Structure 1
Amino acid sequence: MEERGEGMGGGSVAADELRLLIERAERLEEEKKGIADDIKDVMAEAKSRGYDAKAIRKILQIRKKKREEYQEEQSILEVYMQALGMI
């Protein structure tokens, strides 16, 4: 009675497959960390050149969205801000 994944194709084959999947995910996590560090460097460079990093991050967030989605979000925001007397 082996507990190493007999129901998933038998013993060490399933264990090997699982190990490979975990190792692949670990490599991707490392790459993700490296990319996050690169983005931090770009933001630090932008800040050192006088740009506002928060504004750049907001622009990146906006550019990810579809134009219609962004416009709808802005319209709702404007309605709410008017209701609160902010504009």
Structure 2
Amino acid sequence: MVCIIFCAIIMLFIQQITSLAKMESESAKLAIWLTRIVFAYKMIFWTPSFLPGYGLRAAGDVKFSMITSTLSMWICRVVVTIFLVHTFHMSL
């Protein structure tokens, strides 16, 4: 809920933020578009990527939980990066 609230607050003021930064119109549009993509990613992948590790850590398994949470976060980031590159023809 906290993540959703903070993302919503930033989205309310994103126009003002880009104008305070004195961005050109194309740069501002790109910044707003990328902010929306990042916020959507956070809501879908970022929070659940921590759940397996935290669940195992709560059960008392520290070593395997660290491997699991590291792999799940890394896989989510790589999958989203590959998706963005191929879908929107971005370059790395």
Q: TM-score normalised by the shorter chain: which range applies?
A: 0.3 to 0.5
Which structure's CA Rg is the greater one? 1
**TM-score under structure 1 normalisation?**
0.36
**TM-score under structure 2 normalisation?**
0.35
Of structures 1 and 2, the one scoring higher in RCO (CA 8 A, sep 6+) is 2
